[in-house]
Chain A
């Protein structure tokens, strides 16, 4: 006698209970607090904020804890929460020239106004496992003599270049950028929409796309004109007051690349730009973003489409989102036996007919 499988609900409840137990792990080991994750896994928190499109380190830390460290799952938790939040308004554009920088480097000049500020970087660490960190009772290292975050405006390298007309001018738009999370993607996209999609796109995907341009698939000869990390004020126009007030501050990473020049008989040669701006200290993503942005600008800058993946707006924008990608990828583990049965039946029939034809021929 055959009895169809039942009890899906009980199976789901059991799976959830088991998952909760696994998430906590050995109860003999102290539980991690949200504050610990926020403070000690800050770069993971930053990535979840950036790709989750929600600036809230505590929620990102909670999501990381709940997701057992699976950052894409954490991004998904943040996104699902974010989508239920009411939209109270839009902030004014942040002024990154007024950033209180903790790190600011330029690859195009040895020294420059505002100075080179190395900041908290892995760049010159030797990647040797530090077994002291594995020791019990780890004490924080003595505070390093850190330069206080710069309080003066640090001018952008590209602005200095632009003073001589050496780099194309970026016009300041007044239009409210489209909101990718509130309107369906429409192609071709404008640059604001592209940048929005890239900044919340998967770090690994954007990294690989950028890397491919460096290896010749849509090369743009990028110099890091400037990379800066720091805190900027967020202001909002309050209609009742008639002026903008600061409502908080966020940490962002900004990268501006100086790229291959263009020019024509009528226009003298000029460098071009790529731009990256990402929540938190996320410089790999910001640099990658600026390269992908630049590669996608081929049309407006009068370059050829050479068929490189990073130049292909539809390809990049439709595949950058890891929540979409992971959902669709993983959904193939759901039952598909109805469709598989349809294929089975078809292939059996095709084989039977092919074999019959073969036999008849012999």
Chain B
């Protein structure tokens, strides 16, 4: 049931047009952050206003939308954003990754390989990968222009000097098509390899920072590293306690106050699908979702 008080997908047509133009330029220059006149949305900055605006600009009535936060469909903010689009765009929603035509995400890339025809929309807090090294936008813009990414290499190298390895566990910077260094949003570095060569269109929206950027399908995305310290996509060294998966990103759940803990898939749809398919972990229950 669409709320008639608002335009389809909430935003007015001129705003959607402005966002759509930014998305197209983002696709034409992969990894480059396109400034856009982000609007104040009816949810706070930091709750996914950039992702919501990108999704609103892309949605058609024929779409099936999936919204995840931390990999899960049932986290409160995912529920809230899904409901927003049900109300303002009347679109079908799903929790199944394979059934979704648009997936809005915060902090994860689904485990299930995405396919052509799907769009993955990331919510981005700080789109500038160089921001924590150089707080000034006027400076970082120049660095991108001149491909001056030495500062980032120095930072990663300092990590190695201090810790013996690159001590960045999420929002791990990548280089797109050999040109722009890009922030992949705060996904765990475990997800970084999924950025590259994906059949899906990947769009990134940062509302408060007023930036949109994009990865066309099959883009070449390389996690920054050194020859003698190659990038590794790490995760907790456990299997999912519910579905037994050994290759999915895991949440650590504390089960008591005596050090008890278990590890379960962060991607709830992936985990449920495996259990429905008969895969069982140490603590799993057949068929339970």
Give A residues with C-beta under 8 Å from B.
1-9, 11-12, 76, 79-80, 82-84, 86, 181-188, 314, 318, 323-324, 326-332, 334-339, 341-346, 349-350, 353
Q: Could you say which of B6, B137, B170, B190 contacts A343, with CB atoms under 8 Å apart? A: B170
A-B contact pairs, 15 of them (CB 8 A): A4-B268, A80-B42, A83-B40, A84-B6, A181-B40, A184-B38, A187-B137, A331-B46, A331-B125, A334-B106, A337-B252, A338-B170, A338-B188, A338-B249, A342-B189
Contact A314 B138 (CB under 8 A): yes
Which of the listed residues B37, B187, B250 has the most CB atoms from chain A within 10 Å of its own CB?
B37
Count contacts between A and B, CB distance < 8 Å: 148
- A188 to B141 Cα, complex, angstroms: 12
**Is there a chain A Cβ closer than 8 Å to B79's Cβ?**
yes
Report A-chain residues with C-beta under 8 Å of the C-beta of B208.
324, 327-328
Contact of B138 among A187, A327, A343, A345 (CB under 8 A): A187
B76 with A328: CB separation less than 8 A: no
Other than the given A182-B37, A339-B107, A350-B164, 6 more pairs (CB < 8 A) read A187-B137, A336-B70, A336-B107, A336-B186, A338-B187, A346-B169
Chain B interface residue count, Cβ-Cβ cutoff 8 angstroms: 66
Name the A residues within 8 Å of B187 (CB-CB).
338
Give the residue of B76, B234, B283 whose beta carbon is less than 8 angstroms from that of A11: B76
Name the CB-closest residue of B to A85: B12
B218 at the interface (CB under 8 A from A): no
Q: Does B183 contact A (CB under 8 A)?
A: no
With contacts A8-B76, A327-B47, A343-B169 taken as known, whether A335 is within 8 angstroms of B70 at the C-beta atoms is: yes
Q: Which of B147-178 contact A (CB under 8 A)?
A: 163-165, 167, 169-171
When C-beta atoms are compared, the residue in chain A nearest to B12 turns out to be A84
What are the residues of chain A within 8 A of B37 when measuring CB–CB? 181-184
B21 an interface residue at 8 Å Cβ cutoff?
A: no
In the bound complex, do residue B35 and residue A184 qualify as a contact, i.e. CB atoms below 8 Å apart? Answer: yes
Contact assessment for B45 and A344 in the assembled complex, using a CB-CB cutoff below 8 Å: no
The answer to whether B79 and A9 have CB atoms under 8 Å apart is yes
| C-alpha gap A8/B38 in the complex (Å) | 28
Contact A186 B169 (CB under 8 A): no
CB-CB nearest in chain B for A188 = B138
Contact for A79 among B40, B46, B242, B249, CB less than 8 A: B40
In the complex, chain A residues whose CB is within 8 Å of the CB of B268: 4
- Contact status A341-B188, CB under 8 Å: yes
Q: Is the CB of B136 within 8 A of A350?
A: no
Is the C-beta of B199 less than 8 angstroms from some C-beta in chain A? no
Please give the residue numbers on chain B whose beta carbons come within 8 Å of chain A beta carbons, in ascending order. Answer: 6, 12, 35-42, 44-47, 49, 69-72, 74-80, 83, 106-108, 125, 136-138, 163-165, 167, 169-171, 186-190, 208, 210, 234-236, 241-242, 249-253, 255, 262, 264, 266, 268, 283, 285, 288
Residues of B close to A324: CB separation below 8 A: 45, 208
Do A345 and B283 touch across chains, with their CB atoms under 8 A apart? no
Are B236 and A1 closer than 8 Å at their CB atoms? no
Assembled-state Cα–Cα distance A318/B169 (Å): 27
**Given A2-B283, A337-B70, A339-B170, residue A331 in contact with residue B165 (CB < 8 A):** no
Determine how close the nearest CB of chain B comes to the CB of A331; give it in whole angstroms.
Answer: 3
The answer to whether A82 and B249 touch across the interface, beta carbons within 8 angstroms, is no
Closest Cβ–Cβ distance, residue A180 to chain B (whole Å): 9
Q: In the complex, A328→B127 CA distance in Å?
A: 13
Measured between beta carbons, the chain A residues less than 8 angstroms from B44 are 76, 323, 326-327, 330-331
Q: Report A-chain residues with C-beta under 8 Å of the C-beta of B264.
A: 2, 4
Query: B47 contacts A334, CB within 8 Å?
Result: yes
Closest to B169 in A: A342
- Taken together as a complex, chains A and B put the C-alpha atoms of A329 and B125 apart, in Å, by 11
Q: Are B169 and A1 in contact (CB under 8 A)?
A: no
Q: Is the CB of B83 within 8 A of A314?
A: no
Chain B residue contacts of A183, Cβ below 8 A: 37
Contact in complex: B262, A2 (CB < 8 Å): yes
Known interface pairs A183-B37, A314-B138, A331-B47; A338-B71 also in contact (CB < 8 Å): yes
Q: Tell whether, in the assembled complex, residue B83 and residue A341 are in contact, meaning their CB atoms are under 8 Å apart.
A: no
Contact yes or no, A346 B251, CB < 8 A: no
Residue numbers in B under 8 Å from A341 (CB-CB):
188, 236, 249-252, 266
B242 touches A314 (CB 8 A): no
Q: Is the CB of B69 within 8 A of A335?
A: yes
> Of the candidates B74, B138, B163, B251, which one forms a contact with A6 in the assembled complex, judged by CB atoms under 8 Å apart?
B74
CB neighbours of A186 from chain B (8 A)? 35
Distance (Å) between the CB of B212 and the closest chain A CB?
Answer: 10
Q: Which of B78, B79, B108, B171 counts the most chain A CB atoms within 10 A?
A: B79
B265 nearest in chain A by CB position: A4
Find out whether the CB atom of A184 lies under 8 angstroms from the CB atom of B71. Answer: no
Q: How far is the CB of A324 from chain B (nearest CB, A)?
A: 5
The smallest beta-carbon distance between A343 and chain B, in angstroms, is 5
